[in-house]
Amino acid sequence: MLLNGKTAIVTGSGSGVGRAIALRFASEGAQVVCADLRLDWAKETVRQAESAGGTAVAVECDVADEPSVAHVVDGVPDRLDIIVNNVGIATPRPGLKLEEHTGEDFERLVAVNFRGVFHGTKHGIRRFKEQGSGGVILNTGSVAGLVGWGGSVYGATKGAVHQLTRAAAIEGAPFKIRANALAPAGMPYTNFAAGFGLSGDVDALARQVGAQHPLGDPITAEDCAEAAVYLCSDRAANVTGVLLPIDGGYVAK
């Protein structure tokens, strides 16, 4: 029970990595606020958490809208311990080149992938400082923000998330606020499969994606959730400013 007694907000917890993190947090004893633009999806995550004996509540949240994020953060009645800024969207059309992005493509990717993380990080820090006893921020980045890996604007937003995380770690350190980021590689079993142009067999896609990783396997949402538990637990009390690749060795090549 590594998170016993802690309260965590997980954005984008209605599916994929967010749902996996929310469920693992609940299994480790955390009270989880499952925030998602799709409230029905968040409620399904809550149902699964409660069925497994955990504690969770669903709230609607649009991370691109700052008042919406602030409302969720301020809505935690007692102490907030953890905020996971996980929401992200993929490149809108498979194989899209930099020069083929429209202004609308750019604005949407930045609004969700970067501005959304900024809002969560900003209001998480504000709440932690008000409480006066520290806290943990975990952001979802990507290996696409560490190396050139296609999806140019998507990768740029994730690179921005990484730099924001480092800045938050340094600025938050005097207040015992830790900030880290996950950097997953290819995850074909999540909604991001559409970014690979999936139109057929998911398992075939998984084998193709896994072949790009030295360990030979695709990355799963559960892989990310396991790392999230550690980084948000007291076992990582002296870990901050880390961009942790969950990539089967991809960026080590």
What letter would DSSP give residue 78?
Answer: S
Active site residue 154: yes
Quick one: which H or E segment has residue 243? strand 243-246
7-246: which CATH number, 3.40.1410.10, 3.40.50.720, 3.40.50.300, 3.40.600.10? Answer: 3.40.50.720
Mean pLDDT to the nearest integer, 44-63:
98
Mean pLDDT to the nearest integer, 227-248:
98
pLDDT tens string 60-111: 999 999 999 999 999 999 999 999 999 999 998 878 999 999 999 999 999 9
Residue 192 pLDDT more than 70?
no
Residue 209 pLDDT more than 90?
no
Cα separation of 43 and 32, whole Å? 12
Q: Is 23 helix (H, G, I), strand (E, B) or coil?
A: helix
pTM above 0.85, yes or no: yes
More confident residue, 142 or 194: 142
Q: Which of 154, 189, 230, 250 is catalytic?
A: 154
